[in-house]
Amino acid sequence: MKGIGIPMSKLEEREKVAKRKSIIKTIVNDADKLKQRSYYLTDKLQKAITIKTAEGDLDKSGVVREALKLYLADILNKL
């Protein structure tokens, strides 16, 4: 029971995390029809992304998307 000091069961904790993840995934996917991808980065690039994130209002994915948009602008304009 919530609010009276009784801890949640492990199942309740997992369900809560799963719900939170699914809500976030829905928001992100509905916003710009983004697709999750994995890429390998050097430590220096990762550090630069982290610093840029701290300095601005974008999350790490947003920083990478903006950098890619600039780098690929000539090709994106043709699509």
Q: How confident is the model over 12-42, as pLDDT tens digits?
A: 776 666 555 555 555 555 556 788 889 999 9
In a domain? residue 53: yes
The answer to whether the beta carbons of residues 47 and 33 sit under 8 Å apart is no
Domains: count for the chain = 1
In a domain? residue 4: no
In a domain? residue 24: yes
Structure tokens at 32: 């710009």
Average pLDDT across the chain, whole number: 79
Q: What is the pLDDT of residue 52?
A: 95
In a domain? residue 5: no
Domain that holds residue 51: 10-78
Q: Of 3-12, 33-42, 62-71, which range is least confident?
A: 3-12
The answer to whether the beta carbons of residues 30 and 23 sit under 8 Å apart is no
In a domain? residue 14: yes
How far, in whole angstroms, is CA 41 from its chain's centroid?
16
pTM of this structure: 0.58
In a domain? residue 22: yes
CB half-sphere exposure, 11, CA atoms < 13 A: 0
